[in-house]
Amino acid sequence: MSAPPAGTALRPVADRGAWLGFGNLARNEAAQWTRTRSAWVQPLVWLAILVAPLSLPLVFMRELFASEAGGTFEAALDMVFQMGSLALPIGAVIVLHGAILGERQTGTAAWVLTKPASRTAFVMAKFVVHTLALLVVALLLPTWIAYGILSWEAGGALPLGRYAAAVGLLGLNLAFYAALTLMLGAIARNRGTVLAVGLAVIVGADVVLAVVPALAHAGPWVLGRMATVLAHGGPLVTPWPLLAVPLWIVAFLALAVWRVRREEF
């Protein structure tokens, strides 16, 4: 490489913003969903988790569920939202636990960040693409197929607004755990820690709430129950999680960006 002519002033290249390279990074992340087996495996997995169980109250064990309070329809509706409130966060933890940590361990992150891409865009591309993919594949596809099945069972279309609002609560719950897992992956040094902490937050929530019930208003832990109540025609129990959870998501992502920007790849 030749030296610049004498008298030529060197000019620093201006940073084009925190979102530099976001488009390219997002396309790379999206390829993991569109150009791999995930394109057909993930939809089948989530249909098996959220829709296939409806065959129990509606087909195979119909007489048993019909004898219970609420009947087959109520049992099937509960099943969709109760399964979704547990399975979707677990899915988010599993999908995202290696999104940052795995690339850091393999050296891919160091290579990617030598390109014209900011570290903020590096984190945000992972959150946006994988969260949107999970929302479409793991939440919207199964719940709207379930909507058709439940409407058939009820003998008419369910109230669309209430059902959509209930599904939205499950989506907010999923986004919380996606952001949490991404933040843990930016901080932790091994996958086991990320998985253990993420899953502990999910399954240990009831124990914590039993000790400190007030925390129910400060996180996502009652969103699944709220979604079930809303889908059944009940009221929105409390608005506070709808305010607290987005703040947690922003805080988790900010911490993940801060940690990645300090990392020596």
Per-residue model confidence as pLDDT tens digits over 15-29: 457 889 999 999 999
Task: Examine residue 12 and state whether it is found in any structural domain, yes or no.
Answer: no
Residue 104: per-residue pLDDT: 86
Q: Which of 40-54, 59-73, 150-164 has the lowest mean pLDDT?
A: 59-73
Is position 214 within any domain?
yes
pLDDT digits 0-9 by tens, 112-133 = 878 888 999 999 999 999 999 9
Q: Determine the pLDDT at residue 75.
A: 95
State yes or no: pLDDT of 12 exceeds 50. no
For residue 16, is it within any domain? Answer: no
Instruction: Compute the average pLDDT of residues 250-260.
Output: 97
In a domain, 6, yes or no: no
pLDDT for the residue 11: 47
The Cα 73–Cα 150 span in angstroms is 7
**What's the sign of the alpha-carbon dihedral 56, 235, 176, 164?**
positive
Residue 142 maps to a domain: yes
CB distance 206 to 213 below 8 Å: no
Q: Give the CA distances from residue 265 to residues 98, 111, 153, 255, in Å, rounded to whole numbers and listed in that order.
A: 16, 9, 55, 17
Span 74-99, mean pLDDT? Answer: 96
Give the pLDDT band (50/70/90) at residue 161.
very high
Provide the domain count of the chain: 1
Q: Residue 6 — very low, low, confident or very high, per pLDDT cuts 50/70/90?
A: low
In a domain, 5, yes or no: no
Enclosing domain of residue 117: 22-262
